[in-house]
A and B are shown apart, each in its own frame.
Chain A
Amino acid sequence: MSGNEPNPAATMARATPEPQPRPAKAADGKRVDHARSAKQFLNAPEHAKSHDTRVWAMRTKRDKQAHTIEEWEELRQLASDIKTHTLTHLDTYLEQFEANAKANGIHVHWAKDGAEHNRIIHEIFTDHGVKSVIKAKSMLMEECGFRHYMDGVGIEIVETDLGERIQQLDGEDPSHIVVPPVHKMRSDVARLFADKLGSDPENDDAHYLAGAQRDATRPLILDADAGMTGANFAVAETGGFVVCTNEGNADLSANVPNLHVASIGIEKLVPRVEDMGVFIRLLSRSALGSPITQYTSHFRGPKQGGEMHIVLVDNGRSKRLGMEKFWSSLKCIRCGACMNTCPVYRRSGGLSYGATYAGPLGLILNPTFDAHRYSNLPFASTLNGSCTNVCPVKINIHEQIFGWRQVLAENGHLPWTKKTGLAAAGKVLASPKGYRAAIKTTNSALKHLPRWAIYNRMNAWGEGREMPSPPDNGTFHDWYKRHRLNRDGASRNTSEN
C-alpha cells in the first residue's frame, strides 16, 4: 500500500477476528467428553487451522534437528535405558539425592500428593511472610492445583513464562505443556492484554505484545518475596536440579528473590551429571526443534545470602511405578513431541482433553489420576504409533493407550454406548455367519433408511462424516460367491478382475 490510505481488507480483518473457541469443561465428578469439546474447537476454523499449522511446524523442526545428529537413535535408547535403570533403583537414588541436597544447604521436603505439596509451601511462605511470588512454568504445580490453592489463601502468584502468563490472565489452563497458549491467535492475546495490561487493542504484533508483558511483569519480578521453579531433571550425584527455559524466567524467579522453592516430581531423577549430556541433547530438539533451550540452569545450592527449598512430590507416581504395563510412562521428560505429531491433538486442541496433560501423553497419564473422569481419553487416538516413534525416551505410548482401553473396559469405566456397541461388535465379529448377516442388513439399511435414522447421536461415526454408499452388486462375499467359487465350492483360478 502506498501513502496513508488504509487497507480496507486489513481493517476488516482486524475488525472481525474470529472469537477464541472455549470448549466446555466437564463438571466435577463427570466424564470428560473429548469428542464434544473437540467439535467446539473445530467450530472455529481459523483457530483450528492456525493450531494445526503451528503444532505441525514444531514436529517438522524436530525432524530437521534429529536428522542432523548421526547418533540420534542411540541417544534415544541411552535416554530410555538411563531412565529404566533409575526407575528400577528409584528409592536408592532419591535417598542419595536428598542426602547430597541437604549437604549443600538445601531444605528437602516430601509430599505424598498435591494437597500436601500445597500445604508445605504455604507453611514455608507463612514462615517467611511471603505475599507475592514469581513462578516459572511447572506441570507438576498444575497437577497440584497450586495457583488455585494460593488464590484461596491470599498469596499472589505471578507466572513469568509469557505463555503461562497469558493463560493465567485469561483464567484458562495451559493447552500444551511447552507452549501453553498454542491454541490462541495473536488477536486473542491483543484483546486479553488490552483488557488486563492496558495495551493497544488494535496492535496484535507479537513483538509489541511480548514487550507489553515484559514491561508489566518486570516490576513484579523485582518486588516478589519468593521465587518458584519446577525442575526438568534432578541429579542424585550432586543433589542439584536442572531447569530449561527459553525466556530466562526460571533464572529470574530463582535468582532475584532471596527465597527459592522448587517442586520436583520423584520421577525426575537421573543418577549422574554425565547423564545430562544425553537428555539435554534430546530435550529441546524433540520439543521445539532447537538444539538447546536458550537457558539450561543447574541449581545445586542456595545463592549467596539466599535460602532454597525442594519439595519432592509423589502424587500418584509410586502407584504408577507398580503398574506392569504402564510404569515406563514415568520416563517422560515432558517435551511435547508426542502432542506435536498426534493427528488427534493437532485437530482438537489441548483444552478439549479437559485435563492437566493433553495429547498422547495425557491419554496414558490422566487415567492414573481419575479413571472414570478420563475414561474417554484413551479413545482419542488412531493408534497410528507416531507418538511412540518420536518419543525421546522411547515410551511405547500407543501400546499403552491400547492397554488403557483394556483396563478401563475390564474395570467398567466405559460409557454405555461404547460398551454396548463394542460388546455387540465383539459377538458379531466372532461369527462369520453373523458378520455376513450384519453387513447385508447394514447395507440394506443405509440404502433405504431416511437420513434422520442414520445420522443421529447414537452413531458417532456419522458426525462429520458421510456413511459409505453400499455397493449395488452386494457384498464382497456375494461377489466372491458369484465369481470365484464353482458349483462344488472349490475356488477356481481365473484372470477375471
Chain B
Amino acid sequence: MSSRDDILGAVRSAKPGLDAPAPTVPNYDENYPADRAGLIDLFAERLTMMGGTWHALPEGQTVDDALQEALADKLGKTFDEAVIASNVPEVAGNRALTETDAPGSVHDVDIAVLRARFGVAETGSVAFSEAELTVNSIAYLAQHLVVLLDPAEIVTNLHRAYQRDDFVSANYTVFHTGPSATADIEGVLVRGAQGVRSLTVIPAPVQ
C-alpha cells in the first residue's frame, strides 16, 4: 500500500463519528458605513494603523508627482536616480516589467507601481493576483510599493473578500496590509523586514 492509502485509511478509521454539519458563516457587515465615502475613510484609517500610507491626490496632482512627494526622502538616492517599474498606464516609469522577467531580476527596483484588484476596509488590505503583479516577486523585491486602488473596489470585510471568485480562478492571490514588518527583536516594530520598506495606496478610479 502507498503512504497515501495508509494515511487515508488511518484517517477513515480514526475520525470521530460525530454528526457535525458545516456551519453557515454570516457576513457580519451590517454596521459598516453604507456610503462609499465612509468605507474609503475606514479603509484609510485601518491602512494607516498597519503602517501603510494613504495618499489622496490633491486637485491637479498626477500619480508621478505623488510618487515624488511620498517617497523622495525615503530612497537613499535622488528621485531622478530611482529605478521605477510600473505596469499601470498612469505612470511611465523607467524600467520595463514583463511576464518573461526572471523573478530575481527585478531586485534593482526602487519603486514598483501596481494596481490592486480590490481592497478590504476592515483591515486596510489591498489584494493582488498574478495578473496585477506581472512578475510575482516585484511586490517583495522592490524597496517601495505604490498601489493604485479604485475606491469602487473596496469591500467591507474579509467575509465579503472571500466571496469574490478571485481565489478560485487565480494561481496566486495575496493581501498586502501595510509594508513588510517584524517585531522579532525584543518586540521592537521594524518596518521593511524582508519585503518592501513602505506601502503607499493612492485612490484612483480605473481610467
Give every chain A residue within 8 A of B99 (Cβ-Cβ): 304
B34 interface residue (CB < 8 Å to A):
no
B104 interface residue (CB < 8 Å to A):
yes
Chain A 138-168 per-residue mask, 1 if CB under 8 angstroms from chain B, else 0: 0000000000000000000000111100100
Give every chain A residue within 8 A of B194 (Cβ-Cβ): 160, 162, 214, 217, 221, 247-249, 252
Q: Are B23 and A81 in contact (CB under 8 A)?
A: yes
A52 interface residue (CB < 8 Å to B):
no
* Shortest distance between the CB of B137 and any CB in chain A (Å): 5
Which of A116, A251, A300, A318 contacts B139 (CB under 8 A)? A251
Q: Are A88 and B15 in contact (CB under 8 A)?
A: yes
Give every chain B residue within 8 A of A396 (Cβ-Cβ): none
11 A/B residue pairs, CB under 8 Å, sorted by A = A78-B25, A82-B23, A111-B3, A221-B104, A247-B180, A255-B140, A273-B167, A292-B158, A295-B174, A297-B172, A312-B7
Known A-B contacts A85-B20, A276-B162, A292-B123; A210 and B3 likewise in contact (beta carbons under 8 Å):
no
Name A75-108 residues within 8 Å CB distance of B: 78, 81-82, 84-85, 87-91, 94-95, 98, 104
Q: Are B171 and A277 in contact (CB under 8 A)?
A: no
Chain A 217-259 per-residue mask, 1 if CB under 8 angstroms from chain B, else 0: 1100111000000000001011010000011110110111110
A299 interface residue (CB < 8 Å to B):
yes
Number of A residues contacting the other chain (C-beta, 8 Å)?
Answer: 97
Q: Are B123 and A291 in contact (CB under 8 A)?
A: yes
* Shortest distance between the CB of A440 and any CB in chain B (Å): 50
Cα distance A185–B160 in the bound complex, in angstroms: 41
Q: Nearest B residue to A296 by beta-carbon distance?
A: B175
Q: Are A252 and B7 in contact (CB under 8 A)?
A: no
Q: Nearest A residue to B178 by beta-carbon distance?
A: A294
Chain B 165-196 per-residue mask, 1 if CB under 8 angstroms from chain A, else 0: 00110111111111111111111101011111
B50 interface residue (CB < 8 Å to A):
yes
Chain A residues proximal to chain B, CB less than 8 Å: 50, 54, 57, 70-71, 74, 78, 81-82, 84-85, 87-91, 94-95, 98, 104, 110-112, 116, 160-163, 166, 179-181, 184-186, 189, 206-207, 209-211, 214, 217-218, 221-223, 235, 237-238, 240, 246-249, 251-252, 254-258, 266, 271-278, 280-281, 288, 290-304, 312, 314, 318-319, 321-322, 324, 327
Known A-B contacts A179-B184, A300-B170, A303-B172; A90 and B11 likewise in contact (beta carbons under 8 Å):
yes
Which of A91, A246, A280 contacts B12 (CB under 8 A)? A91
Cα distance A207–B137 in the bound complex, in angstroms: 24
Q: Are A292 and B171 in contact (CB under 8 A)?
A: no
Q: Are A294 and B18 in contact (CB under 8 A)?
A: no
B13 interface residue (CB < 8 Å to A):
yes
* Shortest distance between the CB of B97 and any CB in chain A (Å): 13
Cα distance A321–B182 in the bound complex, in angstroms: 35
* Shortest distance between the CB of B118 and any CB in chain A (Å): 14
Known A-B contacts A54-B187, A57-B187, A246-B180; A319 and B14 likewise in contact (beta carbons under 8 Å):
yes
Cα distance A96–B168 in the bound complex, in angstroms: 14
Give every chain A residue within 8 A of B25 (Cβ-Cβ): 78, 274-275, 277-278
Give every chain A residue within 8 A of B193 (Cβ-Cβ): 162, 210, 214, 246-249
A278-B25, A292-B175, A303-B136 are known contacts; what are 6 more A-B pairs with Cβ within 8 Å?
A: A74-B26, A210-B192, A246-B182, A273-B168, A276-B162, A281-B158
Q: Nearest A residue to B171 by beta-carbon distance?
A: A301
Which 7 residue pairs across A and B have the least CB separation, nearest first? A248-B195, A322-B14, A163-B184, A206-B188, A301-B171, A318-B10, A247-B193
